[in-house]
C-alpha cells in the first residue's frame, strides 16, 4: 500500500517540507533508510543519519533544525515518536486485515461463526464452538469442541485451543500457543508407576489478554485455569493447572508457574522466573528475572533471587557474594596463622 507525504501529513496534522507527492510503501529505521521508505527522527543522537538516509520521507519534530540540505521530504509534527507509533499501528492493522472464510477450512455444522470473521486455510472449528464477530482465525488453527471465542480475537497460525476453553474479547494469541492441554496430574502408585488423574476443568482467558508464541496454559483439574483481563504473557511461558494470573499483570518469557498458584493484579514478572505450586503472590509485585518463588509474597513486594528475597537485601548480600572467593582465601590464611600460634 502506498501513501504520499501529503496524505501522511494530513493523518498526523503535520506540515510537509519538500515534495508533498513523495510516495512511500514501507517503514524503515532512519539509519537503514531505503528509497520508498518512511522513517522518523526523535532522538537527537540520530540527527546525523538524516543527512545521508535514503528514506523518501522522514517524520521529525517541529523543533528540529537542519544544519545542511536533506534529500528526504520532511514531515514536521509536534511529537515524531508518538506520530510514528500511530503510523505503525495503522500499518499493522492494514497488514493484518484479513476477511472471508477459506474453502479449505473445516467448520462443523454445529459451530456458530459470527459475521465479519476470517478463517484461513486448514483451520478446524469443531462441534458447538462459537466464534465472535470480527475475529481472525489464521491457517492451521485448531478450535476444539465447545470452545467460546469472543469478538475481535486473533489466533495466529498453528494455535491449538482444546475443548471447553473460553476466550474473551480483543485477545491476541500467537503462533504455537496451546490452551487447554491436560494439567500435569499423576498419582504415584506403590509399584513406582503413576496413574493419570483426569483433568476435567477448562481454561478461561478474559478480555484484552495477549499470549505469546509457544506458551502453554493447562486446563484445570477441576474448575478453571484463569488469565484475567488485560494480562500480557510473553513467549514460552507455562501456566499449570488451576493457576490464576491477575489483571494487567505482565509476565516475561520462559516463566513457569506450578499448579494452583495465584498471581495478583498489576504484577511485573521477569524472564525465567519459577513459581512453586499452591502459593499466593500479592498485587503490584515486581519479581526479578530468574527468581525462584518458593512461598507466599505480600502486596507491593520487590523481590529477586533464588530463593527470592527483598530486592534491596539481595543487592546488599550480592556485594559479599562477589567477595566470597577472596574471603575464603583470607579465612584459610587466618586458620594457618592460628594453627601456628596454637603450636
> Which residues are identified as catalytic?
241
Nearest-CA neighbor of 55 among 68, 69, 70, 67? 70
Three-state SS sequence of the chain: CCEEHHHHHHHHCCEEECCCCCEECEECCHHHCCCCEEEEECCHHHHHHHHCCCCCEEEEECCCCCCCCCCCEEEEECCHHHHHHHHHHHHHHHHCCCCEECCCCEECCCCEECCCCEECCCCEECCCCEECCCCEECCCCEECCCCEECCCCEECCCCEECCCCEECCCCEECCCCEEEECCCCEEECCCCCEEECCCCCEEEECCCCEECCCCEEECCCCCEEEECCCCEECCCCEECCCCEECCCCEECCCCEECCCCEECCCCEECCCCEECCCCEECCCCEECCCCEECCCECCCCEEECCCCEEHHHHHHHHHHHCCHHHHHHHHHHHHHHHHHHHC
Angle between helices 324-342 and 311-321 (to 10 degrees): 50
Return the sign of the alpha-carbon dihedral for residues 275, 279, 283, 286: negative
Instruction: Put residue 73 in one of left, alpha, beta given phi > 0 → left and psi -120 to 50 → alpha.
Output: beta
Widest distance between CA atoms in the chain: 95
Calculate ∠ Cα 162-166-170, nearest 5°: 115
Amino acid at each position: 500500500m502506498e501513501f504520499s507525504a501529503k496524505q501522511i501529513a494530513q493523518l498526523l496534522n503535520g506540515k510537509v517540507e519538500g515534495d508533498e507527492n513523495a510516495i512511500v510503501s514501507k517503514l524503515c529505521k532512519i539509519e537503514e533508510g531505503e528509497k520508498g521508505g518512511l522513517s522518523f527522527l526523535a532522538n537527537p543522537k540520530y540527527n546525523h543519519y538524516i543527512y545521508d538516509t535514503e528514506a523518501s520521507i522522514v517524520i521529525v519534530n517541529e523543533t528540529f533544525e537542519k544544519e545542511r540540505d536533506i534529500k528526504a521530504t520532511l514531515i514536521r509534527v509536534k511529537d515524531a515518536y508518538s506520530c510514528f507509533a500511530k503510523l505503525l499501528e495503522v500499518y499493522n492493522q492494514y497488514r493484518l486485515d484479513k476477511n472471508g472464510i477459506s474453502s479449505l477450512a473445516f467448520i462443523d455444522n454445529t459451530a456458530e461463526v459470527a459475521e465479519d470473521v476470517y478463517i484461513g486455510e486448514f483451520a478446524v472449528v469443531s462441534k458447538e464452538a462459537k466464534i465472535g464477530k470480527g475475529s481472525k482465525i489464521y491457517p492451521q488453527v485448531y478450535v476444539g469442541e465447545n470452545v467460546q471465542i469472543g469478538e475481535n480475537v486473533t489466533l495466529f497460525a498453528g494455535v491449538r485451543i482444546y475443548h471447553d476453553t473460553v476466550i474473551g474479547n480483543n485477545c491476541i494469541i500467537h503462533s504455537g500457543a496451546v490452551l487447554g492441554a491436560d494439567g500435569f496430574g499423576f498419582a504415584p502408585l506403590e509399584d513406582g508407576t503413576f496413574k493419570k488423574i483426569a483433568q476435567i476443568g477448562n481454561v478461561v482467558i478474559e478480555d484484552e489478554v495477549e499470549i505469546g508464541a509457544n506458551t502453554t496454559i493447562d486446563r484445570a483439574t477441576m474448575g478453571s485455569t484463569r488469565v484475567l483481563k488485560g494480562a500480557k504473557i510473553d513467549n514460552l511461558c507455562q501456566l499449570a493447572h488451576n493457576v490464576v494470573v491477575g489483571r494487567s499483570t505482565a509476565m516475561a518469557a520462559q516463566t513457569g508457574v506450578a499448579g494452583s498458584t495465584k498471581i495478583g493484579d498489576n504484577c511485573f514478572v521477569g524472564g525465567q522466573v519459577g513459581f512453586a505450586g499452591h502459593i499466593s503472590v500479592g498485587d503490584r509485585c515486581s519479581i526479578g528475572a530468574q527468581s525462584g518463588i518458593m512461598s507466599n509474597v505480600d502486596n507491593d513486594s520487590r523481590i529477586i533471587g533464588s530463593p527470592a528475597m527483598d530486592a534491596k537485601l539481595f543487592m546488599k548480600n550480592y556485594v559479599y557474594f562477589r567477595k566470597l572467593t577472596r574471603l575464603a582465601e583470607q579465612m584459610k590464611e587466618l586458620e594457618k596463622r592460628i594453627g601456628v600460634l596454637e603450636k
